[in-house]
Structure 1
Amino acid sequence: MNDNQRRAAIASLSAGNERQLEMKKTLLTAVVGGAFILGVTAGCGGVTEDTATPSVAPSAAPSAAPPAKKAPADTRTPGQKNAQRAAESYLATAPFSRTGLIKQLEFEKYSKADATWAVEHVKVNWNEQAAKSAKSYLETQAFSRDGLIQQLTFEGFTAAEAKYGVDKAGL
């Protein structure tokens, strides 16, 4: 598969991932909202008409809850956030080298700075990416060990990552 075919396949998958993410957000909002409503109505207690007393036994005085910890402020720029989301999406659909992923993000019109920042902040094992890439190549083409190492380094994997990937692929 050449770079243009790979980019087209990834762009197609990326559009599907965006729809799937929106559906998950909608479902999560509905579930959280429903749980909140259930919690509020279940915690209200009730008053019976004939006794006018609470149906829930009184509890001890509320304890002082520790102050909530504030999450650290998100200092990412919108470009960095979007580039990081795109990088995570790409990694979920296909194996990439570090430099290959930066180039893909730049192809998608992210700045070099945002693309590099995003790739430095995603959680990824580049050796495992090389192994996935090597296995993918071997599913569709025949390679010698050295030829596959050369192909992986051409894609941007380091020599060590390429050797690891080829070893994991069984060559």
Structure 2
Amino acid sequence: MNRLTRHAAVLSTTFLVAGFLLSCSAEDERGSTASTPAQTPVSSEPASEIGTTPESTEESITAGHQEAVDLAEKYLKDSEFSESGLYGQLLYEGFAEEEAQYGVDNVAVDWDEQALQSAARLLDSSSYSESTLYNRLIFEEYTPDQSQYAVDSVNADWFGEAAESAAGYMSFSAFSESGLYDQLIYEGFTPEQAQHGVASVM
């Protein structure tokens, strides 16, 4: 093979290698493009909120609700009631539970003052020590705070109450001095109040 022929063969081989390398590079680029996942465009619009419109929570006021308020006001003009006692009275009158509760919740009243009026009424009708008056107010369904407020605010003469209790006991039964004293202590009077009560009748 002469020199010219060998030169031509070398050039031909060089072109074949270059073509092969270019072909491989193109295949790599296509593979890289195919393997790259498509990016999902992100919307800048805020997601719509479903069910955010609140339903109306306003209570539907019926004739029964208003009647419960009216009767509650009437009861409070005629007598004193605890909150629970008034609710129970409205139930007794035939109101539904929600109507009775509406009546109690929507009447203008000071429950502390109601307890105080009840305490004054009880002291007008009988004799009480501080503790027995408190317990009686709890029995009438005033709260502990309301009951204590009434006992503290009624301005009672507890020594006088002890003397009245002693006289009441002596009016229907015979007591020794110590027996009467013990009875007054049992009723919740203090030792000083009980001694005053005994002295007032012995």
Q: TM-score range by the shorter chain?
A: 0.5 to 0.7
Q: Which amino acid aligns with 1:119?
A: V
Query: What is the alpha-carbon distance in structure 2 between the residues aligned to residue 101 and residue 119 of structure 1?
Result: 7
Q: Which amino acid aligns with 2:153?
A: K
Query: What is the alpha-carbon distance in structure 2 between the residues aligned to residue 121 and residue 105 of structure 1?
Result: 13
If you compute each CA radius of gyration, which structure gives the higher value, 1 or 2?
Answer: 2
Query: What is the alpha-carbon distance in structure 2 between the residues aligned to residue 113 and residue 122 of structure 1?
Result: 14
Tell me, yes or no, if structure 1 residue 77 matches structure 2 residue 62.
Answer: yes
Query: Normalised by the size of structure 1, how large is the TM-score?
Result: 0.55
Q: Which amino acid aligns with 2:89?
A: Q
Percent of aligned pairs with the same residue? 35
Query: Normalised by the size of structure 2, how large is the TM-score?
Result: 0.47
Quick one: higher RCO (CA 8 Å, sep 6+), 1 or 2?
Answer: 1
Query: What is the alpha-carbon distance in structure 2 between the residues aligned to residue 75 and residue 122 of structure 1?
Result: 17
User: Please, what is the CA RMSD of the aligned residues?
Assistant: 1.4
Moved more, 92-101 or 107-116: 107-116
Post-superposition shift, 1:76? 2.1
Any idea what SS the aligned residue of 1:143 has? coil
Flag structure 2 segments of 5+ consecutive residues without an equivalent. 1-58, 157-202
Flag structure 1 segments of 5+ consecutive residues without an equivalent. 1-73
Equivalences, count: 98
2:18 aligned residue: none
Tell me, yes or no, if structure 1 residue 149 matches structure 2 residue 124.
Answer: no
Tell me, yes or no, if structure 1 residue 138 matches structure 2 residue 102.
Answer: no
Tell me, yes or no, if structure 1 residue 166 matches structure 2 residue 145.
Answer: no
1:105 aligned residue: 90
Q: Which amino acid aligns with 2:80?
A: P
2:177 aligned residue: none
Deviation beyond 4 Å, 4+ runs, structure 1: none
